[in-house]
Amino acid sequence: MTATRTTSPAEPVLVGTGPLSVADVVAVARHGAPVQLTDEAVAAIGTSRAAVERLAAAPTPAYGISTGFGALATRHIEPTMRAQLQRSLVRSHAAGSGPEVEREVTRALMLLRLSTLATGRTGIRPETARLLADLLTRGITPVVHEYGSLGCSGDLAPLSHCALALIGEGPVRRADGSPTDAATALGESGLRPVELGPKEGLALINGTDGMLGMLVLALHDLATLVRTADVAAALSVEGQLATDRVFAADLQALRPHPGQAASAANLRAILADSGVVASHRGPDCNRVQDAYSLRCSPQVHGAVRDTVAHAAAVADRELASAIDNPVVLPDGRVESNGNFHGAPVGYVLDFLAIAVADLASISERRTDRFLDRTRSHGLPPFLAGDPGVDSGHMIAQYTQAGIVSELKRLAVPASVDSIPSSAMQEDHVSMGWAAARKLRRAVDGLTRVLAVEVLTGVRALDLRAPLEPSPATAAVRALVREHVDGPGPDRHLAPEIEAAVTLVASGDVVRTVEATIGELA
């Protein structure tokens, strides 16, 4: 991915100095960092605006400037009606329905639209771009709905709900999350709505920013989760008395996938100096053919890593893109194009959903092996304190299984579907927004599945006493034990699972390992 952000979330993210990084997007979307347009961006915006003004004054119709839109592009709009044209475009396209999407998603799509505006390829006015930056900085977030985008002609409905706020209309949320209307929120912040000029309505709504924003946020989270999966697998290998010999570098080099090598290196590092592993490493050990879910962890985890790397490369290209239709070229021409089509983003969103489902699937299989006394090599059934009276982690695996089943359904691709729209003018669409929405749900599910494996693995290590785990897994056990008690009679299990989910989602599990043995791959 693009360069990591080194400034704190309180410092403004500069828009217009080059492509945004994943860290920039996360800082603004998730942590509320302010936004500032650079002088270079304002100058580029002004240059392209001059080209639009020339075309608006010309007698020849120009799409999006002096014509209708989509299937209505054949109608020439008189100058006196063009402000109404832009208002009507935004109002009519703000047609979303269903639940409100997450604040971080809306802020991400607003930032990414601003990034395209800053390229000087859209023909927007500087004051309109500045107002969008001001909304982000003041924490004013338009209400965007779950349904409405087909992922072609961009994320039209979601972006239109954001554009609506710029003209002082529609519902928004203040920085503290309280609801109000856009006019009130602008007034409270000392801001004034804009009256959109020629081309500005299109410039605000014609991009892949919603699906891209969700892709970037997912990539940020998956960077932590793929390393967490290696930690969880190490806990399972150790706790189930499996061999670590299969992770040897020379064996892994026979199949030189970079993700596989990285995952195996992590497993070797995490398991180093394990008393549990050493206890059965001698000549009497016959554990050379562990179950696939243990033995093949680097192969599966590595394939997920390589999939994430591919998706990150696509995201980098999108972050460097200027997506609008029509676009203003450096020589002043305004040309129609198809860059708003979400296929490149939609495909990798679906690809990631497949990888996420499989990573969760292998995690659930490793967890299940802990609970079956015929496969757990001496552990009590279900890791229960008093099996029969207590059920231990029996139903924690049910929770995993239910999530994994859901993830398999979410892995069905959205991008293979297309429903024609706009009187067959827009006859092939990407469904990238839908792919992004289901990936967000899948990433949450993966987080929960890994959390249960970590929780179960730590419990198993306790039950292996007096054998000592590796320094890395011992540190994870100590972290978990700060929030969850060790083995004993059954307790209310849901809060313990949620505590583990928080440790995984926050990155604390990975940070604890890295503080003990150094940075993971």
pLDDT at 288: 63
Active site residue 347: no
Q: How far apart are CA 40 and CA 50, in angstroms?
A: 16
Q: Helices (DSSP H) in 336-393: which residue ranges?
A: 343-371
Q: Which two tokens stand for residue 402?
A: 């239910």
pLDDT over 90, % of the chain = 85
In angstroms, the Cα distances linking 69 to 95, 236, 336, 426 are 16, 57, 12, 11
Q: What is the CA radius of gyration of the chain?
A: 26
Q: How far apart are CA 208 and CA 211, in angstroms?
A: 6
pLDDT at 5: 39
Q: What is the pLDDT of residues 499-519, one digit of tens each?
A: 999 999 999 999 999 999 999
Q: State mean pLDDT over 256-271.
A: 98
Q: What is the pLDDT of residues 5-14, one digit of tens each?
A: 334 557 899 9
pLDDT at 286: 65
Question: Between the CA atoms of 95, 219, 22 and 259, what dihedral angle is there, to the nearest 10 degrees?
Answer: -150
Helices (H) and strands (E) in the chain, counts: 20, 9
Q: Which two tokens stand for residue 186?
A: 């602008």
Per annotation, catalytic residue among 63, 147, 292, 398? 63
Q: What is the pLDDT of residues 41-88, one digit of tens each?
A: 999 999 999 999 988 888 888 877 877 776 677 788 788 888 888 899
In angstroms, the Cα distances linking 419 to 97, 283, 345, 350 are 18, 63, 18, 18
In angstroms, the Cα distances linking 90 to 48, 81, 187, 333, 484 are 21, 15, 21, 24, 51
Q: Which amino acid is at 64?
A: G
Q: Which amino acid is at 499?
A: A
pLDDT at 55: 85
Q: How far apart are CA 48 and CA 83, in angstroms?
A: 19
pLDDT at 360: 98
Q: Which two tokens stand for residue 85?
A: 């044209």
- Sign of the alpha-carbon dihedral angle for 372, 377, 379, 380: positive
Q: What is the pLDDT of residues 232-244, one digit of tens each?
A: 999 999 999 999 9
Q: Which amino acid is at 132?
A: L
pLDDT at 287: 65
117 SS3 class: helix
Q: How far apart are CA 521 and CA 49, in angstroms?
A: 46
Is pLDDT at 330 greater than 60 in this prediction? yes
The enclosing H or E element of 222 equals helix 209-239
Backbone angles phi and psi of 263, in degrees to 5: -65, -45
E strand segments, 7-121: 13-15, 35-37, 97-100
Q: How far apart are CA 9 and CA 32, in angstroms?
A: 7
Backbone angles phi and psi of 57, in degrees to 5: -85, -10
pLDDT at 431: 92
Is pLDDT at 3 greater than 50 in this prediction? no
Write down the architecture of domain 13-207 according to CATH: Orthogonal Bundle (1.10)
Q: How far apart are CA 111 and CA 313, in angstroms?
A: 20
pLDDT at 363: 98
Q: pTM of the predicted model, to two decimals? A: 0.95
Q: Which neighbouring-strand residues pair with 14?
A: 36
Q: State mean pLDDT over 85-93.
A: 93
For residues 316 and 23, the answer to whether their CB atoms sit within 8 Å is: no
Is pLDDT at 192 greater than 80 in this prediction? yes
Could you state, in order of their start, the residue ranges of all structural domains in the chain? 13-207, 215-517
DSSP code of 23?
A: H
Write down the architecture of domain 215-517 according to CATH: Up-down Bundle (1.20)
Long-range contacts of 128-134 (CB under 8 A, 24+ apart): 128/166, 128/194, 128/196, 128/200, 128/204, 129/37, 129/41, 129/42, 129/45, 130/37, 130/42, 131/166, 131/191, 131/193, 131/194, 132/162, 132/166, 132/204, 133/15, 133/35, 133/36, 133/37, 134/189, 134/191
Query: Which residue has better confidence, 413 or 152?
Result: 413
Q: Helices (DSSP H) in 120-208: which residue ranges?
A: 126-138, 156-166, 182-188, 200-205
Q: How far apart are CA 101 and CA 79, in angstroms?
A: 37
Q: What is the pLDDT of residues 318-328, one digit of tens each?
A: 999 999 999 99
Matching fold, domains 13-207 and 215-517: no
Q: Which amino acid is at 350?
A: D
What is the secondary structure of 234-256 as a DSSP string? HHHHHHTT--SGGG-HHHHTTS-
